Structure 1
Amino acid sequence: MPGFTTRPQLRGDFGMVASTHWLASATGMSVLERGGNAFDAAVAAGFTLQVVEPHLNGPGGEVPVIFQAAGHAPRVLCGQGVSPAAAVPEAFEGMDRIPGSGVLAATVPGSFDAWMLLLRDHGTLGVRDVLDHAIGLAERGYPVLPQIERAIAAVAPVLTRHWAGSAGVYLPGGAVPAAGSRLRNPALAATYRRIVSEAEAAGPDREAQIEAARRAWSQGFVAEAVGAFLASPVPDAAGTPRQALLTAQDMADWSASYEDPVSVSHGDRTVHKTGPWGQGPAMLQQLHLAEALGTGADVRDGVSADFVHLVTESAKLAFADREAWYGDPDFTDVPLGRLLSPEYAAERAALVDASRASTRQRPGRIDGRTPFVPPVFLAGEAPADRTVGEPTAGDVASRASLRGDTCHLDVVDARGNMVSATPSGGWLSSSPVIPDLGFPLGTRAQMFWLDPASPNRLQPRKRPRTTLSPTLVTRGDGQAVLAMGTPGGDQQDQWTTTALLRVLNGVDDLQEALDIPMFHTNAFPSSFHPRETVPGDLVVESRVDGDVVAELERRGHRVRVVAPWSLGRLAAVARDPDTGELRAAADARGAQGYAAGR
């Protein structure tokens, strides 16, 4: 349905913020109005998301950031914490997969240090300035969305029986908070107030205050509280005591870091992603396949069977390579040069049958090396435990009705600074709240494989290969023109790739690019416990024309038609370097993401 939008694309020249929650977008805009730049706004919005979307991210989670400071090259900030020093396969003896819930799957919390490092090096404001909105919302309360009510209700028995700290925050008065009510987290507010106090005790210098805040987190009272909580076994979702691998020393030994992005050209634009410790290069592989297959020429005609088929088949090939080759490049030799070459894309494109869907895992063989092919756990093997896997999607079979995971934010200011970030982890459903701090740890280690043949195998002090995948686009002269992304686990680099193909092939209105019906496949191993696969799967919104669905089924896709506005929660900002015009849009799906700007 070309030309249809649910809301206007925002346009202006002062600043734009788009995120998955209106309170985070409002926070970012407030910071811009007070004189902060895009980095200040992104940090403040990120901390706000930790409070208002606790079922999707939290202080115990992680964040990858792709950004461009005006006049400089794009960079990646890695806020993905590593596995503990004690994280060896023997620690999971008797298990074929790392569990998706409980403290056993905790990695080093990475988001706080990453946000503070971004603030120190590229922001202009202080610790109090970027935390005050989050503190206020945690103290006074924030609106409980229906999604939060459902998430808490699903795990209420676990909270009541095994996770007292979580029950104290998320079952006020012993009951699930109703949608529309307000929920407070005074313990988290106190944690952040103490960090502000310790920062300001370091003196008036802004950088000294930020460094004091970082120490308070990784070496001070926060790390001490984490260490004390984990000193004894902690019950998992089933009530089984588990001795965590994470220690306070693991937190002290790690810090966020910068690196260059991985990039490819598509037409007259260059697309930048994280390295293969994230799934971002899978988008770059899909873009090369799109060029080789001519995908995207018909995007202004809406959602055609050819477009959906070619995008889906390309995704299957790229994600098969993700499982076969991607991992932390500090530990494994990832053949990115070959994976992202046009020659390899041409070879892979030759595998795509324009008239028939594939139901096989087909990773590429590179330089004579044998690709890792993970075991296939078919849908239906998922346990009834709703605490595992993605925070709002416990199993592949119901993934369409329980949409996505994680949060996202994009910011651009008048100077041309641009930020794209995808915070996640540390959500309330998967690990118990530490009472002294008001937040749970993350469970990102579930994304490792225990198989020693995997490039993403568990090793000490290693980054798990995550699904978190912000996107930055530059034009020929190197200036940033677009930032975008979405929650959604394995779907992130499917939904964002689809939206980006629309933008790069002539859909000029950002809101229209996000609103056009979405689709994705689960025809490869999920990144989340219990790691299920649905061969031949294709999920499409019901707004896709019935004739298109019938043609896709004729080509062999196992199509599941789901609710009309159920796939994705995209956000995007853009800038025209020639005119200075800024634009922004946010997905109407989920009824909570908004853009703000002027």
Structure 2
Amino acid sequence: MPLPTTRPEITGTFGAVASTHWLASQTGMGVLERGGNAFDAAAAAGFVLQVVEPHLNGPGSDLPIVLWSAAGGADGGAHVVCGQGPVPAAATPQAFADLGLTAIPGSGLLPATVPGAFGAWTLLLQRWGTWRLRDVLEPAIGYARHGAPVLPRVAATLESVTPLFLQGEGAWTTSAATYLTGDDGAARAPQPWSRLRLTALADTYDRVLAAAEAAGRRGGGRDAEFEAAREYWYRGEVADVVDRFFSATRWRDATGAVHAGLLRGSDLAAWEPTIEPPAVGGYRDVQVLKTGTWGQGPVLLQALALLDGQLDGVDEDDDDWVHACAAAFDLAVADREAWYGDPVGAEEDGADVPSVTELLDPAYTASRRALLGEYAESELQPGWPGGTVRRLPQLPEPPRVEALADAGPAVGEPTVDRREELSREELGRGDTVHVDVADRWGNLVSATPSGGWLQSSPVIPELGFALGTRAQMCWLPGGGSPRSRSRAARWGSTLGSTLRPGRRPRTTLSPTLLLRDGEPWMALGTPGGDQQDAWQLPFVIRLAHASETALQAAVDAPTFHTETAPSSFWPRQEAPAQLVIEERFGPSVAAGLTRRGWDVRPVDGWSLGRLSAVALDGGWIRAAANPRGAQGYAVGR
């Protein structure tokens, strides 16, 4: 008998789109209906998400994409498109030391990196799409110019950051002019379900199209358009405007002080999006594809490897099941803290970044699995992938923040609030969006854009958008006393996520592609910072153990996450052995977990994660989206 669900599971044969906003999902489906493929649809939906969820992402954002192409030759199969821009050349540890900072703040200009999303979307379209850039951008331009509905969460976020936008030294007046202009001209946050117009952004995209189409008319056609669009963005007018804004202005950030930025036009000019092979792991007969260690994606691969063969016959409504998943995740995330980072340039910097092959080595996995005990572990326990010659890196203390309420409007990317005294609305929260697409030709796309949200940094007025703050994920050397975080060794060498000019920050963005018996099966993902793979873990396990694909039931199922590891976001807080769990698991499960030593924090039964997924399943295309937040939708036929 099918499990009861909150929504019908979308099932058809033509195509499907699932995302975190209904307008993006319907935009993507409209592209499929008019002959576009999954890559055209994903990009069109992604650009719309920048407009309709501006508190969660923007044009100045980052973007990893995991895809399956049904084409033949080099373009076929699985690929990762990296739209994670690097740290600026001027962002050295000494530059922050000269400012008296021991950690990179979570908002303002200092943590900005090269905005990679535009490059990644246009590279995806150029190589695998079929539509022209204008056709893909027109829906987003339309919503930006004529207005999109203001979600209640957008209104609440803008209400919370209004003092930052208007009051005191370094107030973000350019953001106020963009977001706080009412119909009568007064500077105030818009009301829920009013209309928000972003005309400066629409104008920017119109100028991008003019430059792209001029190049196309000169010869070269579609390819020339995409090359010219990236040239305009990274080496033309957009880069020039970014350079002037970061060179000539100073704004308040999460430290409470006023600082200029370090990003320059030359940083944009030196960067290109890349196409990489995915990291591949497995669980039962499912192959799981993620980004490399510049993202946190291999955490899911390591956790699944630890649990493979351990949960057969264990009821998912039992505390044994939840404990095993949570403990495996903590072991995997301990390796993230110790070893993950951008492998590019790591050796020159003295950082030791293991390969994914070493992290997933069966012998290493077996040694880690032996640590899965009956009780929660409050300390991080990283291992030694690839042998004992490695030295565990030094993990700095998180910055001391005496009054988090005064720390600024964008403290981290928390999907679950770590500051119990503040409400969700008081935080000016940042988060992430996600989109999945499947088409009738067998293509799959999973994309997780994030950053550049309205509360990340001040709007660049000529462009109509803010830049992201991903550099806050980099540790500063000497950023506090080293902690002994392992029972077996002292952390002692350089972290792979230590700040280094030109390095990609170790992002939390974690889209996922699943294969079954080597064939493309599913694209999935969720917003949620550090918790993204924690929520994907039980989702993938449930589906791998199910006798049939029941996407909506797996999305609806209660979930949980741990907070043992330091947050990847400023001010890098942690809560050892804390287990946040939706109360639908029931009091007996919570009591069993408490007996195992977990600090159990039950939360509303429909509050964790915003998973969505699409699947190619036995001749059908299926799709599901999360009811949590009443915002995500799946569409298809």
Q: TM-score range by the shorter chain?
A: over 0.9
Range moving further from structure 2, 50-59 or 172-181: 172-181
Asked if residue 113 in structure 1 is aligned to residue 126 in structure 2, the reply is: no
- From 82, 94, 98, the equivalent of 1:78 is 82
Work out whether 1:52 is the aligned partner of 2:52: yes
8 Å CA contact 2:91, 2:500 repeated in 1: yes
Counterpart in the other structure of 1:42: 42
* C-alpha separation in 2, matches of 1:2 and 1:492: 27
- Find the counterpart in structure 2 of residue 191 from structure 1: 204
Aligned residue in 2 for 1:587? 626
Between 372-381 and 130-139, the greater mean CA deviation after superposition: 372-381
Take 2:538 and 2:144, find their aligned partners in 1: how far apart are those partners?
36
Amino acid at match of 1:351: L
Match of 1:438 among 448, 458, 464: 464
Task: Name 2:532's counterpart in structure 1.
Answer: 492
Cα distance in 1 for residues equivalent to 2:430 and 2:536:
13
Distance in structure 2 (CA, Å) of the matches to 1:32 and 1:326: 37
What is the CA distance between 1:505 and its match in structure 2?
A: 1.0
Q: What residue number does 1:357 align with?
A: 376
Give the conservation status (yes or no) of the 8 Å contact 1:107–1:444: yes
Q: Equivalent of 1:88, from 92, 102, 115?
A: 92
Distance in 2 between residues matched to 1:421 and 1:12, nearest whole Å = 22
Change (3 A) 1:353 1:540: same
What residue ranges of structure 1 are gaps of 5+ in the alignment? none
Give distance in 1, aligned partners of 2:400 and 2:256. 25
Whether contact under 8 Å (2:289, 2:513) holds in the other structure is: yes
Distance across 2 between alignment mates of 1:360 and 1:382: 26
Query: In structure 2, the residue corresponding to 1:439 is in which secondary structure?
Result: coil
2:229 is matched with which residue? 213
How far apart in 2 are the matches of 1:552 and 1:312?
10
- Corresponding residue for 2:553? 512
Q: Residue 475 of structure 1 aligns with which residue?
A: 516
Cα deviation, residue 303, structure 1: 2.6
Report the equivalent of 2:396. 375
For the residue of structure 1 that corresponds to 2:161, the secondary structure is helix
- Equivalences for residues 91-102 of structure 1 within 5 A: 91-93=95-97, 94-102=100-108
Map of 2:339 onto structure 1: 325
1:428 aligns with 2:454: yes
Alpha-carbon distance in structure 2 between the residues aligned to 1:4 and 1:152: 37
> Is residue 502 from structure 1 mapped to residue 557 from structure 2 by the alignment?
no
Alpha carbons 2:286, 2:515 under 8 Å: kept: yes
User: Counterparts of 2:28 and 2:36 in 1: how far apart (Å)?
Assistant: 9
Identify the residue that residue 231 of structure 1 maps to in structure 2: 247
Aligned residues: 591
Match of 2:603 among 552, 555, 562: 562
Does the C-alpha gap of structure 1 residues 210 and 399 become closer, same or farther in structure 2, counting only changes over 3 Å? farther
Aligned residue among 170, 176, 199 for 1:167 = 176
TM-superposed deviation, 1:82: 0.6
Cα separation, 1, equivalents of 2:140 and 2:442:
26
Q: Deviations over 1:103-144 (max 9, x none)?
A: 110000000011001100100001111111100101111111
Aligned match of 1:408: 434
Using structure 2 for the length normalisation, give the TM-score.
0.90
Query: Is 1:418 matched with 2:444?
Result: yes
- Equivalent residue, structure 2, for 1:63: 63
Shift of 1:221: 1.2
Residue identity opposite 2:362 in structure 1: P
What is aligned with 1:260?
277
Alignment partners' CA distance in 1, 2:396 and 2:575: 13
**Alignment partner, residue 527 of structure 1:** 568
The 1-side partners of 2:312 and 2:467 are apart by 41
Q: Is the 8 A contact 1:401 1:566 kept in 2?
A: no
Structure 2 stretches lacking a partner, 5+ long = 347-351, 479-493
Among residues 132, 153, 156, which one is paired with 2:162 in the alignment? 156
Counterpart amino acid of residue 619 in structure 2 = G
Within 1, Cα distance between the matches of 2:392 and 2:380? 11
> How do residues 111-150 of structure 1 correspond to structure 2 at under 5 angstroms?
111-150=117-156
Cα–Cα, structure 1 residues 145 and 8, in superposed 2: closer, same or farther, change >3 Å? same
Cα deviation, 1:491-547, whole Å, max 9, x if unaligned, reads 001001111111111162100001011110111110000001101100011211111
Contact preservation (8 Å) 1:381, 1:532: no
Change (3 A) 1:197 1:297: farther
- 1:310 maps to which residue? 324
- Distance in 2, matches of 1:146 and 1:296, equals 43
RMSD: 2.0
SS in 1 for 2:431: coil
Following superposition, the deviation at residue 56 of structure 1 comes to: 0.7
In structure 2, relative to structure 1, the CA distance for the partners of 1:499 and 1:393 (3 Å cut) is: closer
Q: Classify the secondary structure of the residue corresponding to 1:4.
A: coil
Rounded to whole Å, the distance in 2 between the matches of 1:373 and 1:17 is: 43
Q: 1:6 & 1:378 partners in 2: Cα distance?
A: 42
Asked if the contact 1:141/1:185 (under 8 Å) is kept, the reply is: yes
1:200 matched to 2:201: no
Residue 81 of structure 1 aligns with an amino acid whose one-letter code is G
Q: CA deviation at 1:2?
A: 8.8
**Residue 379 and residue 481 in structure 1: after superposition, are their counterparts in 2 closer, same or farther (change >3 A)?**
farther
Alignment check: 8 A CA contact 1:18 1:572 kept: yes
